[in-house]
Amino acid sequence: MPAIPLLRQPDPHGHAKVSFVELFFDLVFVFAVTQLSHTLIGHFAHDGVTLKGALQTGFLMAAVWWVWIFTSWVTNWLDPERLPVRICLFAMMLAGLLMSVSLPQAFGERALMFAASFTAIQVGRTLFFLWAARGAEEALVRNFQRIGAWLVVSAVLWIAGALNPSLRVPLWVAALAIEVVGPSAGFFVPGLGRSTTADWTISGGHLAERCALFVIIALGESLLVTGATFAEQPLTTMSLLAFLVSFAGSIALWWLYFDTTNDFATGRIVHSDDPGRIARLAYTYIHLPIVAGIIVNAAADEFVLAHPDGHTDLKTALCLLGGVAIYVIGVGLFKRAVVGHWPWSHGVAVIALAAAGPFVHDWTPVVTSAFACLVLVALAAWERHSRAQCLVPDSEDVDDAPSIGP
């Protein structure tokens, strides 16, 4: 079959190069992650510790992730070095910038801006793909026809929610649920059937690298918060200690993902007979709690650096212990998806964090931060020491590991 001009050519090594235009596109999401982190901090500052503010920020985090991961899937197939693809990415960058600007007021006065920019990316990208892949193999085109049908339905709910404040929450929850469930359901459409992971002939190494880069984006936001907040504080022994502990925590977060997990997972997806299945679970779904944990931890760093001494209040405790726990669970699930078994060391770490909860009110914030950091450091050291054992899969092939959906 003749090559399609706007599709990537098959890569013999299974690892298409991440292009500079993709990295440029990601800069919009650097801003989005910053907005999410500051939105979470703002909810705590103005509303106290409210479940509503936390849930809204978590919801927006999921929406932002879904825009980014869908785009990463598409650039697995489309060649970003081709001019029309680049123009499409630039258009999505503009819409993504508008979406990011609207995040702090997404449930308020900028709801329509958020919904319109979000749906413009999701639906517009799918329509562009159908145009760019015209004449390609039928399975690939049919797959995006199904995706387009699901995203059009969710787009109607996003816009309707933006225009109806009283129904905004249920309509938006339904819209995001449609997009989240879609991959697991194979984007089933009556008359068009459903997609299988075998249809998703992706460059596994490319998607793994893209997701790793998003983790770097989130960690970069954590370092940005640490540096900016420390620069605004008087230079005292406690503030310096809080700064050093926060920095050490960022290193530990990086180490736990990149030293003990990422390379092995990349190898598994590259050499898998069904990379779409691993990508759907390990990268599309499970990386969301990993990124969310980093963002929550970034908020915790700002709280600790602003008030390193005194008692650890509820918001600081929740963000410190909760953020690290979410991250540890996410990395544990990631390993579960690619190795085939849950690393029980991660369970021990989560139990340790939970056990500290009743006592941290009597600790200073910097001590609570140091405790969370020590849990991460101990876990990373444990995983590095036992990597040869914990990264050897069971007798089953990784493709037999549990998965979301078929």
Give 148 or 16, the one with higher predicted confidence.
148
How is 69-114 classified by DSSP, letter by letter?
HHHHHHHHHB-TTSHHHHHHHHHHHHHHHHHHHHGGGTTTTTHHHH
Residue 304, in any domain of the structure: yes
Length of the chain in residues, anyone? 406
- Residues 6+ positions from 55 with CB-CB distance below 8 Å: none
8 found inside a domain: no
Q: Which residue among 195, 216, 251 closes a domain? A: 195
Residue 151 resides in a domain: yes
Q: Which residues have C-beta within 8 Å of that of residue 95, sequence separation ≥ 6?
A: 117, 118, 120, 121, 124
Partnered with residue 189 across adjacent β-strands are 193
What confidence tier does 134 reach under pLDDT thresholds 50, 70, 90? Answer: confident
Shared domain check, 218 and 179: no
Is residue 53 scored above 90 in pLDDT? no
Q: How confident is the model at residue 392 (pLDDT cuts 50, 70, 90)?
A: very low
Predicted confidence (pLDDT) at residue 14 exceeds the cutoff of 90: no
Residue 352 inside a domain? The answer is yes
Q: Does pLDDT of 353 surpass 50?
A: yes
Structure-token pair, residue 349: 């770490």
Residue range(s) defining the domain that contains residue 293: 204-400
Q: pLDDT averaged over the chain?
A: 87
The reported pLDDT for the residue numbered 21 is 93
Instruction: Based on the fold, state whether residues 175 and 245 are members of the same structural domain.
Output: no
Domain boundary, last residue among 140, 170, 195: 195
For the cut 50, the answer to whether the pLDDT of residue 390 exceeds it is: no
**Which of these three, 195, 225, 244, is where a domain ends?**
195
Residue pair 320/369 in contact by the 8 Å Cβ criterion: yes
Q: Please report whether residue 6 resides in a domain.
A: no
Q: Cα 88 to chain center, whole Å? A: 22
In a domain? residue 119: yes
376 in the same domain as 242: yes
Note the pLDDT of residue 13: 54
The CATH number assigned to the domain holding 361 equals 1.20.1410
pLDDT attached to residue 241? 96
**What local confidence, expressed as pLDDT, does residue 4 receive?**
54
What pLDDT does residue 141 have?
87
Are both 152 and 177 inside the same structural domain? yes
pLDDT tens digit sequence for 317-348: 999 999 999 999 999 999 888 877 888 899 99
Task: Reply yes or no on whether the pLDDT at 160 is more than 50.
Answer: yes
Residue 253 has pLDDT above 90, yes or no: yes
Residue 395 lies in a domain: yes
Over range 143-162, report the average pLDDT. Answer: 96
- pLDDT value at 33 more than 70: yes
Q: What is the Rg, in whole angstroms, of the alpha carbon atoms belonging to the chain?
A: 21
Mark whether 185 and 216 lie in a shared domain.
no
Share of the chain above pLDDT 70, in %: 89
Domain total in the chain? 2
